[in-house]
Amino acid sequence: MTAFEAISLDKHYGEFHALKDINLSVEPGEFIVLVGPSGCGKSTLMRTIAGLEKVTSGDLKIDGRSVTGLLPKERDVAMVFQSYALYPHMTVAENIGFGMKIAKRPKAEIQEKVLAAAKVLKIEDYLNRKPKALSGGQRQRVAIGRAIVRDPKIFLFDEPLSNLDAALRVEMRVELARLHKQLDATMIYVTHDQVEAMTLADRIVVMNGGVIEQIGAPLDLFNRPRNKFVAGFLGQPPAIFVRLDGHEVKGSRLQVQFSGTSVDLPAPENQTGTPVEIGLRPDFFELDPENPDLSPQVEVVEQLGDTTLLYTRLPDGQQATVQLPGQVTAKSGDRIPLRIKCKSPLIFDEAGRNLFA
């Protein structure tokens, strides 16, 4: 049985169509990450699942049962937001157990569940502290603890780590991955952080303007994005798109010409569209002084220690970001000899469909 299903879900706010025919099926124990540009409907989808927003049409099912008409508390989901919303006058233990206390659960059961959740989250030493005496990461753990003791059918996380500093985010990200394994829980998670999406998700859902553009395993989406939007959205720094000057199919090979060079690729299987654009990810380039395809001019150099980012301009004036392994000596104004190796080629037709998807 699926843990969660959205079936032909639509949500209007007056005239505004915020969710358009959303169909999503989540398996028990799956970690689903929703990504997309600001305003694309991620939070709206989460809020409709939680029951905080009414759907305009369509159905939501949890464990095969329709919950569309149910109140939030009847749905058996727990939501963790970006703001922890802890009660400042209560201790950590009281905050975690508050929902159970309201539900009039026996004291011993509350104590037992609070301690178990605190152990999972490694905050058992702070149970008697008030939130103000905790770090941001510890506070977020308390908020997650509050969700864990409810033992919900689905955990909903709406950007839970975005208030934390970079180091804590990484730490909490790993903790969340561990927690997901340990609880074997179904989780739906919203983030703007590409690394969180790529590392935590079993499957990523890419949204855009209220629609789902593509659903798939992180590397499948990265390597075989269905269209230009998904190709440009996943990947940091993002891919650039260059108009083709021409193309030729030679048996099982496809040759594409752009920016004064040409690249030889395996012809896509089941090709139906006409290639008009190529997508180049920063790591599609390698240094090759002997036999370069292109020698773009370097504008800005960023040394990251293990890699070097070069912001360059192609002969036709387009900007291209180039990521090279190691510490490459280059300065602004240099021409850098590069060979192109499309690891997972991105070639688009006029409608923006990837011919290699």
Residues that bind ligand ATP (CB under 6 A): 13, 16, 18, 36, 38-44
Helices (H), 215-280: 218-223, 228-233
- Is the Cα dihedral 49, 41, 21, 24 positive or negative? negative
In the bound complex, what is the minimum distance in angstroms from residue 190's beta carbon to ligand ATP? 7
250 C-beta neighbours (distance < 10 Å), count: 9
Q: What is the DSSP string of 157-195?
A: EESTTTTS-HHHHHHHHHHHHHHHHHHT-EEEEE-S-HH
3-state class percentages of the chain: helix first, strand second, coil last, to nearest 5: 25, 35, 40
Q: How far apart are CA 83 and CA 86, in angstroms?
A: 9
Smaller CB distance to ligand ATP: residue 44 or 312?
44
| Amino acid at the residue 91 | T
In the bound complex, what is the minimum distance in angstroms from residue 19's beta carbon to ligand ATP? 8
Smaller CB distance to ligand ATP: residue 36 or 292?
36
In the bound complex, what is the minimum distance in angstroms from residue 185's beta carbon to ligand ATP? 22
3-state SS string for 282-320: HHHEEECCCCCCECCEEEEEEECCCEEEEEEECCCCCEE
Q: From 345, 350, 357, select the one nearest 278 (Cα to Cα).
A: 345
In the bound complex, what is the minimum distance in angstroms from residue 18's beta carbon to ligand ATP? 4
Smaller CB distance to ligand ATP: residue 16 or 305?
16
Q: What are phi and psi of 89, to 5 degrees?
A: -85, -5
Smaller CB distance to ligand ATP: residue 52 or 300?
52
Smaller CB distance to ligand ATP: residue 40 or 231?
40
In the bound complex, what is the minimum distance in angstroms from residue 158's beta carbon to ligand ATP? 8
Smaller CB distance to ligand ATP: residue 41 or 345?
41
In the bound complex, what is the minimum distance in angstroms from residue 55's beta carbon to ligand ATP? 13
Tokens of 222: 């990265």
